[in-house]
Amino acid sequence: MKKYEQIPHTSDIALRVYGKDLKELFANAAYGMFDIIADLEGLKESVSIDVSLKAPSKEELLVSWLDELLYSFYTKGIIFFKFDIDSINKEELVAKAHGRHVGENRNRLKSEIKAATYHDLEIKEERDGLNVQIVFDV
Amino acid sequence: MQTWQGPLEKIDDYRWRIPKSYMQGMRVPGIIYADRNLLESIKNDKAPIQVANAACLPGIVKNSLAMPDIHWGYGLPIGGVVATDIESGGVITPGGVGYDINCGVRLVKTNLTEKEIKPRIKDLIYALYNNIPAGVGSEGKIRVSASEEKKILTNGAKWAVDKGFGTKEDLEYTEEKGRMEGADPSNVSERAYQRGKRQSGTLGSGNHFVEVQSVDEIYDEKTAKTFNIEKGQVTIMIHSGSRGFGYQVCDEYAKGMSSAQSKYGISVPDRQLACAPVKSPEGKSYIGAMKCAANYAWNNRQCLMHLVRGVFEKFFNRSFNDLGMDLIYDVAHNIAKFEKYNIDGKEKLLCVHRKGATRAFGPGHPDLPSEYKDIGQPVIIPGDMGRHSFLLVGTKKAEETFYSTCHGAGRLLSRKAAVSACRGRSISQELAEKGIVVMASGRGTLAEEAPEAYKNVVDVVHVVHEAGISKRVARMQPLGVIKG
């Protein structure tokens, strides 16, 4: 199954993300986002952070998760590309994100994402799993 | 099949109405400024639906407006203008301002000519590229302590001028004099501080740029004289905003607004339009933080101009004063403002959201610098990097749009489609053949920002000029550009 794909959006960047469950959906969404930010191929992990979040709904939890990672990217300078979601339900998430410092990888950077938006955001359940469309402000 | 299937009633050649009856919940009609040609591309986009969505905002006055560079955004469309009546429960929505709070443009003149600069343009663009921090998460040389950052948030561009990064005249020629009253740093989170502390004087990425241009057409000699510009003269345009600081502010308040909105019994068709009454504690708190971000952005553009002046001084071995590098004007194009309008015979204080739209005060407006009182507010409209940019002025007629006009060319292709269209081509080579030197830090930026990804700004400006909501003064062509 496809993990994610970029879908046309006139002003910003939009992804459709797939996953068999919430764990996979959240991990794929995070990878898809960092794939917009930087060239991830061949990067080796050297640093990890713990993430623990609560939100009123699974959509809000998804945006919070992505924004949390963006915040760490901008303030700690870490490109993330591997995600272990330890536990997740509709309102709570505990995870580890692994990555590498931007440092000598500056030439891998592609696009600046300002934020994940709530625009048209809905996690949909279909026969073969979950999917969601996320619009990023770039 | 076109995305927009709803009605668009012709008012005249440049105005099209979405009637209130289109959707339940619309409080006012929508009006899109466009000609028949632009309207076709607009109909292929989700933007008209967003114009209708915005018409549902509580307290909205007259019409939900869209400028001709309108395109699909989130919440309000890019190119959207919405004014709400503060005393009648009017709301403010972070989605009507955007993530890049006070993204904007400034235009700087020089007394250099195209002839003088053309043979050395490549070296000049390299020098700019090497001295102006740009790109994803770019950090600058201006690093400030937390207490100093608070001063930036309350003082705006004045902070830079006080530090010697500019002149008092620069502030005179900046919208709001580079500083919005009422900025409240206590409404800003620690996280926003963290994201902002190293980014003053940085360009960012995406469509932000510094462009060296020459004036190639004057439409209104008299007004151009007031600006001291003539054909062949070199100008510089700077486009950037509030960087990570503003994005963080918008993000946090957009999250918080949805619970506020249910508290006030408000429902809107798009979560990204989550809002609260201007007079509510939640509304006030966002406004206090938004003004901080607006001030951050004005300071950022002031710092960027200071860096540009420094590069020119070194390159030409003359002072910036000697080079005539005066600021013509600085405009915000993502912001909410509080302005008085006469609505049905009564003066009312409105909250005017301009998201991808530029304020355009007409002649005689009290907020204009004295030198511009008779001609109206300068309006700066960047095009794409291969085509023209424009300098316009506001008109009295623009009162119908709450003194607002377009802000740029407006995207036509998604970034993905632009990259596909440019596969196997070198955009920098194509531009070089047209005599334009381009340098970009981000991989893929040039393809995403290729000229064909945008509507032709000439068409967009034609509409606002013919509709009478602003007036063409001069056109500039790009000589060289640095992109993030």
Spatial CA neighbour of A27 closest among A70, A66, A67, A83: A83
* Region B19-25 average pLDDT: 97
List the single residue in A with minimal CA-CA distance to B245.
A114
Residue among B48, B482, B64, B84 nearest B283 (CA): B84
- The model carries a pTM of 0.94
Assigned domain for B2 exists: no
Chain B CB contacts of A37 below 8 Å: 136
CATH number at residue A39: 3.55.10.10
In a domain, B207, yes or no: yes
Our count of domains for chain A comes to: 1
Q: Per-residue pLDDT tens for B128-155?
A: 999 999 888 788 888 788 888 899 999 9
pLDDT (tens digit, 9 = 90+) per residue, A36-62?
Answer: 999 999 999 999 999 999 999 999 999
Distances (CA, A) of B53 to B29, B95, B154, B385: 10, 12, 33, 32
pLDDT at B258: 85
Q: Which residues contact A17 (CB under 8 A, 6 or more apart)?
A: A3, A4, A25, A28, A29, A32, A131, A132, A133, A134
Whole-number Å distance between alpha carbons of B105 and B71: 19
Shortest CA distance from A56: residue in chain B: B259
Q: Residues 18 to 77 of A: which have CB under 8 A from any B CB?
A: 37-39, 56, 60, 63-64, 67, 71, 73-75, 77
How far apart (Å, rounded) are the C-alpha atoms in residues A15 and A13?
7
Closest among B67, B64, B69 to B82, alpha carbons compared? B64
Domain extent for B164: 9-483
Tell me, what's the pLDDT at B204? 86
The CA-based diameter of chain A, rounded to the nearest angstrom, is: 44
pLDDT in tens, B378-427: 999 999 988 999 999 999 999 999 999 999 998 888 888 888 888 888 88
Domain membership flag for residue B261: yes
In chain A, what residues touch B417 (CB-CB under 8 Å)? 8
At residue B417, the pLDDT reads 87
* Three state DSSP letters for chain B: CCCCCCCCEEEECCEEEECHHHCCCCCCCEEEECCHHHHHHHHCCCHHHHHHHHCCCCCECCCEEEEEEEEEEECEEEEEEEEEEHHHCCEECHHHCCCCCCCEEEEEEEEEEHHHHHHHHHHHHHHHHHHCCCCCCCCCCECCCHHHHHHHHHHCHHHHHHCCCCCHHHHHCEHHHHCCCCCCHHHCCHHHHHHHCCCECCCCCCCCEEEEEEEEEECCHHHHHHCCCCCCEEEEEEEECCHHHHHHHHHHHHHHHHHHHHHCCCCCCCHHHCCEECCCHHHHHHHHHHHHHHHHHHHHHHHHHHHHHHHHHHHHCCCCCCCCCCEEEEEECEEEEEEEEEECCEEEEEEEEEECCEECCCCCCCCCCHHHCCCCCEEEECCCCCCCEEEEEECHHHHHHCCEECCCCCECCCHHHHHHHCCCCCHHHHHHHCCCEEEECCCCHHHHCCHHHECCHHHHHHHHHHHCCEEEEEEEEEEEEEEC
For residue range A19-41, what is the model confidence (pLDDT) as tens digits? 999 999 999 999 999 999 999 99
Name the region of B376 (left: φ>0; alpha: ψ -120 to 50; beta: rest). left
In a domain, B135, yes or no: yes
A119 falls in which pLDDT band (50, 70, 90)? confident
User: Hey, what's the torsion of the CAs at B420, B423, B426, B428, to 10 degrees?
Assistant: 20
pLDDT (0 to 100) of residue B199: 87
Q: What is the pLDDT of residues B162-197, one digit of tens each?
A: 999 999 999 999 999 999 999 999 999 999 999 988
Q: Are B16 and B34 in contact (CB under 8 A)?
A: yes
The pLDDT score that the predictor gives to residue B74 is 85
Residue B412: list chain A partners with CB under 8 A. Answer: 10
The residue with tokens 């830090």 is B441
Please give the residue range of the domain that contains residue A107.
Answer: 4-137
C-alpha R_g of chain B: 21
B1 is a domain residue: no
* CB contact set of A22 (below 8 Å; sequence gap of 6+): A58, A85, A88, A89, A123, A130
pLDDT at B366: 95
Cβ <8 Å between B137 and A135: no
CA B118, CA B68: separation in Å to the nearest integer?
Answer: 33
pLDDT score of B441 more than 90:
no
Cβ B378 vs Cβ B365: under 8 Å: no
Interchain contact, A115 vs B99, CB within 8 Å = yes
Q: Is A121 on the interface with B (CB under 8 A)?
A: yes
Q: Does a structural domain hold residue B247?
A: yes
ipTM for this prediction: 0.84
CATH number of residue B293's parent domain: 3.90.1860.10
Q: What percent of chain A has pLDDT over 70?
A: 100
**Residue B1: band (very low, low, confident or very high) from pLDDT cuts 50, 70, 90:** low
A16 near B CB under 8 A: no
B107-120: per-residue pLDDT in tens? Answer: 999 999 999 999 99
Asked if B137's CB is within 8 angstroms of A73's CB, the reply is yes
Distance CA B253, CA B250 (A): 5
Question: Is there a contact between B484 and A112 if contact means CB atoms under 8 Å apart?
Answer: yes
Judge whether B4 lies within some domain: no
pLDDT at A11 over 90: no
| pLDDT at residue number B136 | 82
- Give A-chain residues touching B247 at CB under 8 angstroms: 114-115, 137
pLDDT beyond 80 at B372? yes
Confidence (pLDDT) at A120: 82
Higher pLDDT, B264 or A110: B264
Q: Which of A56, A60, A115 sits opposite B247 (nearest CB)?
A: A115
Domains identified in chain B, total number: 1
The total of other beta-carbon atoms located within 10 Å of residue B415's CB is 27
What average pLDDT is seen over chain A?
93
Q: What is the per-residue pLDDT for B145? A: 83
Print the SS3 string covering chain A. Answer: CCCEEEECCCCCEEEEEEECCHHHHHHHHHHHHHHHHECCCCCCCCEEEEEEEECCCHHHHHHHHHHHHHHHHHHHCEEEEEEEEEEECCCEEEEEEEEEECHHHHHHECCCCCEECCCCCCCEEECCEEEEEEEEEC
Residue B345 domain flag = yes
**Is B316's pLDDT higher than 80?**
yes
Interface test with A, best of B42, B74, B143 (most A CBs within 10 A): B74
